[in-house]
Amino acid sequence: MYNILMHSDEVSRVEYDPNHPFKPGRGKQLLDLLKRHNLIYEDNQKVISPQPLDESLLLLAHTRYYIDLFKRADEGEFSLEMLEAGLGTGDNPIFRGMYRFALITSGGTWQGAQMLDAGEARFVFNPIGGYHHAGKNHAGGFCYVNDIGIAIMDLIKKGRRVVYIDIDVHHGNGVQDLFYKDDRVLKISIHESGMTLYPWSGFQNEIGADAGRGYNVNIPLLKGTDDEVYVEAFESVVPPLVKAFGPDIVFAQIGGDVHKEDPLAHLRLTSNGYKRVIQIINELSPKIMATGGGGYNVYKTSALWALAWATFCGITPSDHYAGVVGGMMYGPEAHAGSLEDEPFVAKGAEKDEYRRHAAEVVDYIRKQVFPIHGIGRA
């Protein structure tokens, strides 16, 4: 089966605002890195230009009222109602073509999920998707349309069991809200604590409600947390829950803003911890739908996504240009043309505090969530 990369030159040219930190051009930089490191030439790999989403599918995750406001904003109208819906703010500015932009980015995620469900692919990566903050009736956190929610909702309506894993540094609040009372989707978000970062949510006691109680899992970590503590927490919680749930497909939002050089957040992961988490996700399901999401150091984000692609595809990067112009003498890489970082390890009292907090979160999940899934029972 194929490994599919969704890429749109049209989307890569979009700009929210010249000074806005969200850069859709990351998709083009990713493709360039994949070519440079010989990661996109296998016979079982395809690059596909996504088709715009059928507008009727927007209603799977959004109200008609919000979609109408969104379309009117795209057409040049402006009203107080739009501001109340998060449209026209600093985070979510109104720009020409934003409705088509949302349809194409959402179309990539929906199309990829359909290909996986039909057995046409083993892994699909839509780096221009991953808008996990968009709500039913509002935009937020640079997100206008919740492509993840649309694609998942369509699958569960067909009887599929879905796991959603979110490793973006920000809590996936929009996806959580859509499925908070639903036991057909197991949602796991590991992120910087809402005590110090937008969207100020995603605490460990948010475990779902009604039928969905125990199917919403949050692993909030202290700012400054490094690879070691992050991976320990992830390994302690995610594999046992996913295996107990038994998904037909795993969605993974793999935002690159967990990197220690990201300007908008405060976790301190390197490519080493990030790649280890991707390896774990890759072992959890024969069908994986990955999306991009956050990442505001454009080069580091693209490099992390290139490593993720290589890991999901089971291949090793090799730089054609190392040692020549654009390689280790003149490239932006940290060392010798590699996509990978030098290790970073927090030490002393701060490391003890990161580990203590993570252990408390994991212990809470083991006590409150694991029993619901039959984990730990004799």
Q: What is the dihedral of CA 76, 80, 85, 86, to 10 degrees?
A: 70
CB 316 within 8 A of CB 310: yes
- Tell which residue, 111, 118, 4, has the closest CA to residue 50: 111
**Half-sphere exposure (Cβ direction) of 10: Cα atoms closer than 13 Å:** 15
Find where tokens 């780096």 sit.
127
Q: What is the largest CA-CA distance in the chain?
A: 62
Distance between CA 334 and CA 260 in Å, rounded? 13
The side-by-side arrangement of strands in the sheet containing 45-48 is: 45-48, 2-6, 121-126, 288-291, 249-253, 162-166, 185-192, 216-221
CB 66 within 8 A of CB 332: no
How buried is residue 263: exposed, middle or buried, by Cβ count under 10 Å (0-12/13-18/19+)? exposed
- Candidate list 133, 138, 171, 259, residue with the active-site label: 133
Decide if 133 is catalytic: yes
HEC string for 136-157: CCECECCECCCHHHHHHHHHHC
Catalytic residue numbers, as ranges: 133
